[in-house]
A and B are shown apart, each in its own frame.
Chain A
Amino acid sequence: AQTVTQSQPEMSVQEAETVTLSCTYDTSESDYYLFWYKQPPSRQMILVIRQEAYKQQNATENRFSVNFQKAAKSFSLKISDSQLGDAAMYFCAFLESGGGADGLTFGKGTHLIIQP
């Protein structure tokens, strides 16, 4: 079974600075997808960024980018120019490719605090 580990229960960063959230995973599969989800205090989870394991290029969405290290099974999220609206729980998630209709496997989350 796949496991996803987020080693930072909580992170704090000054507004406008850059922060990196870490995520590692364990799998024997070679083809899979990785996600970062954001859950603001209103509770609705939204997708931040998605990475396909077969793509070597790191995914980027505006201020959000990932550092995907397949050999190390690492998938960190970098948030540049942090804004107050970035404060939320962030979850890293894994999905096996071609494995059926299973749900995503989630990490335990990182609580990101933005200091004004």
Chain B
Amino acid sequence: DVKVTQSSRYLVKRTGEKVFLECVQDMDHENMFWYRQDPGLGLRLIYFSYDVKMKEKGDIPEGYSVSREKKERFSLILESASTNQTSMYLCASRRFYPTTGGLGGTGELFFGEGSRLTVL
């Protein structure tokens, strides 16, 4: 089974602090994603990564950055946390997509358990 592990289930930080959210997957997936989940807003894509050292902005990248130095690890960084970044953060991974000649994945995302961040 695919396992996506997020380093912290619950974090409490103060405004202005630098925050690191770590995500590790064990299935050698090329693609990795960070989503933010808020009640009534669903999931919104922050950043994604095609492969090692590759990154692309999603729909709401402001205030965030990412790092992918190794294939299995994708980190989300809040350079200076603010109260409006209090949220649930979900990491996901996927085999490369789109399919080519029968290769590649199905597009399915595999999620971690989430990291609940509170910024005071």
Contact = CB atoms under 8 A, between A and B. Distances in A.
Interface stretch (B13-21, B61-69, B108-116): B108-116
Nearest to B50: A101
B87 to A, nearest CB: 13
A103 B111 contact: no
B83 interface: no
A102 B42 contact: no
Interface string B98-115: 100000001111011110
Contacts of A50: 106-108
Contacts, number: 59
A33 B111 contact: no
Nearest to B98: A98
Interface string A26-52: 000000010100000011111100100
B116 to A, nearest CB: 8
Interface of B: 30-31, 33, 35, 40-45, 48, 50, 56, 58, 88, 90, 92, 94, 96-98, 106-109, 111-114
Interface of A: 6, 9, 33, 35, 42-47, 50, 91, 95, 97-104, 106-109
